[in-house]
Amino acid sequence: MAGNVGLLKHASNVPQCALEIEDIHSPRGVPAGRVSDAANRSAQVECVIGDPRVQAVTLTGSEPAGAQVASQAGRRIKKTLLELGGSDPFIVMPSAYLERAVRTGVEARTINTGQSCIAAKRFIVDARIAEEFERKLVAGMSALRVGDPMDESMQVGPLATPEILEGLDQQVRRSVELGARVLTGGKRLDRPGNYYAPTVLADVPKAAPAYHEELFGPVAALYRTNGIEEAIRLANDTDFGLGASAWTNDEAEQRRFIDELEAGMVFINGMVVSDPRLPFGGAKRSGYGREMGAYGIREFVNVKTVRVA
């Protein structure tokens, strides 16, 4: 929309996605070549960033990839926009509509088999309703149908790669070794494919991977807190700050969550989603800058001041 040419470097394991994006743009009034697929290997990225025709770089991916791209662009004084990982809190207070919160929480944790930066990952529940919420969350996660993603009756599919499956399994195993309890799931499924059982962990200690790392799969970490102060403190006790979902019908609590949660996006009584009308992006190690909305369009333009006397 701003008139820029976009050069798309897809992840190495999904070249068809980039080709599809290029095809989608072609018949819709976008001039030929404005959005092009760069089928280059990761090792070639620095050469692309260093090309003087490339003015700025945006990346969606992991923290290490973001740090590498930002470093390469920074050495050449080029602007970057980073959308990295997340460990989004899903906070539930006593005034919330519990059934709706649980139903949305299950969906928010398992969307795309949990492989989403804005998936709800840490469930922070007030102690006054924690027992009922835990029972319903475990029942909801346990009831999910896991199987072939091409079968529309399935609700949870496989993880994208064997490496993601292995990493998630190790994170859960290590968390359990350090004291976390498995309320449901907690293991790979014994079948062909990268399947992991929908899982709920409780009593997660601070030293555990499930506490301080992003879990990129259908694994929920459940915490009990006493009051809003403790809920906000726990929600902010992370290096990430992408999205946050808070469930309460108390207007004073809503205002506090909006003001005090350290996240680029705060959704009240709803699941964090990506909407092209709204700026999308995070804080802390989740990255910087904004995609989508008017802010997203302006990220990659140069403001020129003109004064005619």
As annotated, the active-site residues are: 83, 117
What single letter denotes the amino acid at residue 31?
P
> Taking a C-beta distance cutoff of 8 angstroms, is the pair 146, 134 a contact?
no
Residue 72 tokens read as: 């390469």
Query: Which of 119, 123, 122, 124 minimizes the C-alpha distance to 159?
Result: 119
Residue 286 tokens read as: 């989740």
> Taking a C-beta distance cutoff of 8 angstroms, is the pair 268, 246 a contact?
yes
The single-letter DSSP state of residue 298 is: H
Interhelix angle 98-110/127-142, nearest 10 degrees: 50
> Taking a C-beta distance cutoff of 8 angstroms, is the pair 234, 130 a contact?
no
Asked whether the CA dihedral 22, 25, 29, 30 is positive or negative, the reply is negative
Spatial neighbors of 55 by CB under 8 A, at least 6 apart, are 78, 79, 300
Q: Give the burial string for 47-64 (b: 16+ CB within 10 Å, else e).
A: eebeeeeeebbbbebebe
Residue 129 tokens read as: 């309703």
